[in-house]
């Protein structure tokens, strides 16, 4: 097997979901990853322990690791420990090493020493304010996607650092902030303020487009994302309102006239199943999809045909887990997943 | 801020909307030369989205904020890839490049005739990143994908909501796009590293749908561990973070987010709330609700952080951009533009020591670098370039007809 990151050695220090996720992705790309994590560090809940074992699968574990004996040092320890290790980090960088520090708010600034988690970064980063009902509390996404965002950027920084080092331009310290990882995912809300003076607030409907949200059908929910004029033209035909396609005012102001649109759309959807709606919208080249539960995703025909899921065995139970995000000429190293292997000390 | 880490690397982007262009922009932020290719009659539609000052002006394609944000640090080259001469021209650009990123459906890519075989023939050293919404095989392969719909297909929408019987809620941003974008940039970088080590440039297929699923492993593990599907539960977690929630404060629409990840955090919270050190998560949650309701948002955050409890204010986008930490780290930097005033955009969330950096360059004007690409890079004569304009293979402004 040939892997994209053959020969790259990674060491993880610290107990964060971000770094555990980053280490797993690097392992999948073929790097050799060693983590100091052994005991459960994300709590004693069975789901937390299972998640940790999944994230650490394929990694070597060692009771004490020397991060400078690697190409990439992933570090999510508390900031005072990262700072106390500055000399070691500098020497590591002198020798071409890439030290990736993942912290809640970054290595400097007035909040650097404060404590944060995914939801806290999401609060500061403007995401919570933008998600939820108009009159309801701010809302976060389910799962740990916010923490894993930080892990994604940590991998991007690590690989950029290795590219730099291998080009003979020396090592580096990469400062990754969970807060800034959230901000980097902002799409329109920040420039709605800087370019138009609008400070957006959460709403079930999209801020500028319509219909562009989640709607109920007869047997579940669908997401409809009607973005372009062409989508609108097709939509009018689909829901038996061809006259709307000629109404330029409605097309251009359909967000302001959303109640009028929904008065026709909502009953139309209520009479149809999720699968029928998705099929008919997609046949008309309008982005639309079902709201699937976890078990429905695991049984999804598309993913099954693409053989996406992999097996992960823990405690005698075989779990189906997400496969690689890439299909490439280079192999994915986590195709045969097994629990962490203890490294020889 | 633009780093020089990828200087010497040339990237060609044939993308639209968010996922592909954002992936390419991240490489531009890292110092690669990114050439964004659009057709005269098919400009990236986000050029016409969210106009500065709500004014489309005389050149609306240059005033869309989305385009400005996600196409900085790029060059613009206009080629009608569907025309025979345009396709030849495009392949010549690819042949002198290192990375090709596109996020079209397989159907569009087929229409363009950009098969893997052809690309390997004309550009054997090209790292190719193809980012179709649902991959290039399977029943959904030609489905149109927007970030919002991908969330539903991936399972994210099913766990995002208040958990009170109200319908699932869309996310603050359509996650499908930015997740795929970062994966796209990672695929490009790992491909360049692999090319350097093994001498073979990979072709990578990156499904936006599958990318988002990889961000949700906990959902699938829990569904199989518990035998039931995870459900929306508002801001609660109860697995790693407990208590966790968003709490209303005394001011109008003022909220704080609080999250305890360890016994140390819970003990600190108990101390602040005047409870026993071993108070349970439910007790802490109830007491925190009352405690927060009696305080202003920022006062509450200061007290919680001083006690050692992870907490933060819920900020609007405007407040976020003005927050002391965001300002101190200059997360938003102004980028100048030849047609209007300088405006702030978020930096890439990576800071590198020991790397040279310079200011960002504005998103390019439509066709701004046609002559650079055709003349300097491909060595075409002025007469040849003139013919391309005459034949509508290229243009300096979109063909709005």
DSSP string, B161-195: S-SSSSPP---SS-THHHHHHHHHHHHHHHHHHHH
Chain B nearest C-alpha distance from A343 (Å): 26
Distance (Å, whole) CA A99 – CA A119:
25
B203–A contact, CB cutoff 8 A:
yes
Q: Is residue A191 helix, strand or coil?
A: helix
Q: Taking the domains of chain B in order of start, what are their residue ranges? A: 2-214+331-390, 244-315
Q: Taking the domains of chain A in order of start, what are their residue ranges? A: 9-185+314-342, 212-216+221-290
What is the structure's pLDDT at B49? 85
What is the structure's pLDDT at A262? 97
Question: Mean pLDDT, consecutive 10-residue segments, chain A of 345 residues?
Answer: 96 96 98 92 95 95 90 97 98 98 98 98 98 96 96 98 97 98 96 96 93 97 93 96 94 93 98 98 96 98 95 91 94 77 53
Interface touch A173/B352, C-beta < 8 Å: yes
Q: Is A124 exposed, middle or buried (0-12, 13-18, 19+ CB in 10 A)?
A: buried
Strand B127-130 to B99-102 pairing:
parallel
Residue pair A312/A321 in contact by the 8 Å Cβ criterion: yes
Distance (Å, whole) CA B374 – CA B395:
12
Residue pair B9/B21 in contact by the 8 Å Cβ criterion: no
Residue B400's pLDDT band (cuts 50, 70, 90): confident
Distance (Å, whole) CA B167 – CA B139:
27
ipTM over 0.90: yes
**Chain centre distance of CA A264:** 35
**Chain centre distance of CA B161:** 23
Best residue in B26, B49, B126, B152 to probe A by mutation, most A CBs within 10 Å? B152
Interface touch A137/B68, C-beta < 8 Å: no
Best residue in A123, A228, A270, A300 to probe B by mutation, most B CBs within 10 Å? A123
What is the structure's pLDDT at B167? 94
Summarize pLDDT for B308-349 with one digit per residue, the tens: 999 999 999 999 999 999 999 999 999 999 999 999 999 999
Summarize pLDDT for B221-273 with one digit per residue, the tens: 999 999 999 999 999 999 999 999 999 999 999 999 999 999 999 999 999 99
Residue pair B211/B182 in contact by the 8 Å Cβ criterion: no
Taking phi over 0 as left and psi of -120 to 50 as alpha, with beta for the rest, A285 belongs to left
Mean pLDDT for all residues in chain B? 96
Nearest 5°: phi and psi at A288?
-160, 145
B2-214+331-390 is classed in which CATH architecture? Answer: 3-Layer(aba) Sandwich (3.40)
What is the structure's pLDDT at A339? 60
Going across the sheet that includes B244-248, the strands are B244-248, B255-259, B311-313
Residue B290's pLDDT band (cuts 50, 70, 90): very high
What is the structure's pLDDT at A131? 97
Collect all residues of chain B within an 8 Å Cβ-Cβ radius of residue A293.
155, 158, 223, 229
Interface touch A186/B214, C-beta < 8 Å: no
Residue pair B361/B72 in contact by the 8 Å Cβ criterion: yes
Is the CATH number 3.40.50.10490 carried by domain A9-185+314-342? no
A96–B contact, CB cutoff 8 A:
no
What is the structure's pLDDT at A345? 40
What is the structure's pLDDT at A180? 98
**Residue in A with minimal Cα distance to B128:** A328
What is the structure's pLDDT at A191? 96
Nearest 5°: phi and psi at B341?
-65, 160
Cβ-based neighbour number of residue B135 at 10 Å: 24
Collect all residues of chain A within an 8 Å Cβ-Cβ radius of residue B242.
43
The H or E element that residue B251 is part of is: none
Structure tokens that stand for B389 in this block: 């304009």
Strand B127-130 to A9-13 pairing:
unpaired
Q: What is the CATH number of domain B244-315?
A: 3.30.1540
What is the structure's pLDDT at A342? 61
Distance (Å, whole) CA A308 – CA B371:
44
A340–B contact, CB cutoff 8 A:
no
Q: Where do runs of H (alpha helix) occur along A97-215?
A: 118-124, 127-130, 145-164, 178-184, 189-196
Q: List B255's β-bridge partners, or say none.
A: B248
Interface touch A322/B354, C-beta < 8 Å: no
Q: Is B159 exposed, middle or buried (0-12, 13-18, 19+ CB in 10 A)?
A: buried
Is the CATH number 3.30.1540.10 carried by domain A212-216+221-290? yes
């Amino acid at each position: 097997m040939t892997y994209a990151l053959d020969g790259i050695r990674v060491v993880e220090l610290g107990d964060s979901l971000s770094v555990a996720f980053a280490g797993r992705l690097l392992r999948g790309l073929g790097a050799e990853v060693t983590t100091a994590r052994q005991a459960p560090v994300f709590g004693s809940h069975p789901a937390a322990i299972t998640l940790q074992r999944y994230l650490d699968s394929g990694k070597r574990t060692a009771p004490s690791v020397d991060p400078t004996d690697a190409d990439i040092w992933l570090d999510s320890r508390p900031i005072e420990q990262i700072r106390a290790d500055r000399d070691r980090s500098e020497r590591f960088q002198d020798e071409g090493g890439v030290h990736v520090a993942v912290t809640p708010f970054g290595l400097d600034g007035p909040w650097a020493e404060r404590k944060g988690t995914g939801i806290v970064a999401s609060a500061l980063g403007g995401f919570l304010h933008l998600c939820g009902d108009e009159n309801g509390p701010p809302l976060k996404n389910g799962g740990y996607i916010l923490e894993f965002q930080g892990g994604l950027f940590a991998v991007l920084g690590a690989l950029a650092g290795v590219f730099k080092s291998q080009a003979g331009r020396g090592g580096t310290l990469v400062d990754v902030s969970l807060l800034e990882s959230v901000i980097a995912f902002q799409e329109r809300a920040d420039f709605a303020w800087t370019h138009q003076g609008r400070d957006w607030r959460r709403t079930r409907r999209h801020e500028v487009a319509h219909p562009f949200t989640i709607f109920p059908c007869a047997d579940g929910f669908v997401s409809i994302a009607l973005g372009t004029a062409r989508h609108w033209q097709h939509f009018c035909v689909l829901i038996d309102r061809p006259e709307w396609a000629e109404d330029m005012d409605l097309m251009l102001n359909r967000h302001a006239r959303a109640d009028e649109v929904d008065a026709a759309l909502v009953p139309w959807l209520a009479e149809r199943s999720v699968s029928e709606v998705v099929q008919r919208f997609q046949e008309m080249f309008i982005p639309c999809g079902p709201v699937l539960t976890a078990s429905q995703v695991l049984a999804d025909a598309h993913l099954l045909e693409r053989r996406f899921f992999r097996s992960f065995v823990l405690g005698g139970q075989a779990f189906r887990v997400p496969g690689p995000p890439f299909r490439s000429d280079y192999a994915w190293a986590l195709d045969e997943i097994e629990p962490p292997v203890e490294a020889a000390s | 801020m633009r780093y020089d880490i990828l200087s010497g690397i040339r990237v060609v982007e044939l993308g639209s909307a968010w996922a592909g262009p954002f992936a390419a922009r991240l490489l531009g932020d890292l110092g690669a030369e990114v050439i964004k290719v659009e057709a005269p009659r098919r400009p990236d539609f986000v050029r016409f989205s969210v106009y500065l000052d709500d004014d489309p002006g005389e050149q609306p394609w240059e005033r869309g904020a989305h385009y400005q944000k996600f196409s900085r640090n790029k060059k613009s080259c206009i080629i009608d890839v569907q025309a025979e001469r345009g396709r030849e021209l495009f392949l010549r650009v690819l042949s002198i490049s290192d990375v090709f990123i596109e996020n079209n459906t397989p159907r569009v890519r087929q229409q363009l005739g950009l098969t893997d075989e052809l690309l390997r023939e004309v550009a054997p050293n090209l790292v190719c990143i193809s980012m179709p919404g649902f991959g290039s095989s399977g029943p959904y392969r030609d489905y149109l994908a927007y970030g919002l719909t991908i969330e539903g297909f991936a399972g994210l929408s099913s766990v995002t909501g208040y958990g009170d019987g109200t319908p699932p809620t869309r996310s603050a941003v359509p996650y499908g796009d930015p997740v795929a974008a970062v994966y796209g940039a990672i695929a490009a970088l790992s491909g360049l590293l692999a090319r350097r080590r093994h001498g073979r440039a990979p072709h990578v297929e990156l499904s936006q749908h599958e990318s988002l699923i990889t961000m949700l492993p906990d959902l699938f593990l829990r569904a199989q561990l518990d035998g039931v599907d995870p459900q929306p539960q508002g801001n609660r977690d109860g697995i790693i973070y407990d208590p966790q929630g968003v709490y209303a404060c005394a001011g109008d629409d003022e909220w704080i987010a609080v999250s305890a990840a360890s016994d140390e955090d819970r003990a600190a919270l108990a101390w602040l709330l005047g409870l026993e050190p071993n108070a349970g998560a439910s007790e802490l949650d109830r007491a925190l609700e009352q405690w927060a309701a009696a305080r202003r948002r920022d006062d509450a955050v200061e007290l919680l952080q001083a006690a050692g409890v992870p907490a933060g204010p819920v900020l609007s986008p405007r407040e976020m951009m003005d927050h002391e930490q965001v300002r101190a780290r200059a997360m938003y930097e102004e980028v100048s533009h030849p047609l209007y005033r300088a405006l702030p955009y978020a930096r890439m969330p990576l800071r590198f020591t020991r790397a040279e950096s310079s200011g960002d360059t504005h998103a390019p004007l439509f066709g701004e670098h046609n002559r650079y690409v055709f003349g300097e890079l491909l060595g075409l004569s002025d007469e040849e370039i003139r013919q391309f304009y005459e034949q509508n293979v290229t243009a300096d402004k979109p063909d709005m007809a």
